[in-house]
């Protein structure tokens, strides 16, 4: 049986289909982690994407015309 540690509190979690919130131990820990991403306390390293560039690139590539 594979066991991981909850990223929020460190509680051991068995990696099975029965572990509903895996890799988190509970809904509470899952929501705490989500809140940290939304508050930008967790970040993916790198330069922030320029939304206007991404928006124009998407239009050019995905425009059905």
Beta bridge partners of 3: 14
pTM, to two decimals: 0.66
Domain map (residue ranges) of the chain: 3-62
User: pLDDT for 7-63, tens place per residue?
Assistant: 999 999 999 999 999 999 999 999 999 999 999 898 888 887 676 765 666 555 555
Which pLDDT score is estimated for 46? Answer: 84
pLDDT at 63: 53
What is residue 42's three-state secondary structure? coil
CA distances for 41 relative to 17, 18, 19, 25, 26, angstroms: 29, 30, 26, 21, 20
pLDDT of residue 55: 62
Residue numbers in the known binding site are 6, 9, 25, 29
Contacts of 14 (CB under 8 A, 6+ apart): 1, 2, 3
Name the CATH superfamily housing domain 3-62: Erythroid Transcription Factor GATA-1, subunit A (3.30.50.10)
What are 49's two structure tokens? 């994407």
Binding-site residue positions for Zn(2+): 6, 9, 25, 29
């Amino acid at each position: 049986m594979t066991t991981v540690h909850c990223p929020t509190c460190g509680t051991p979690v068995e990696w099975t289909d029965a572990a509903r919130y895996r890799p988190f131990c509970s809904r509470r820990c899952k929501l705490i982690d989500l809140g940290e991403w939304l508050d930008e306390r967790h970040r993916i390293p790198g330069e922030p994407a320029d939304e206007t560039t991404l928006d124009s690139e998407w239009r050019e590539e995905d425009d059905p015309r």
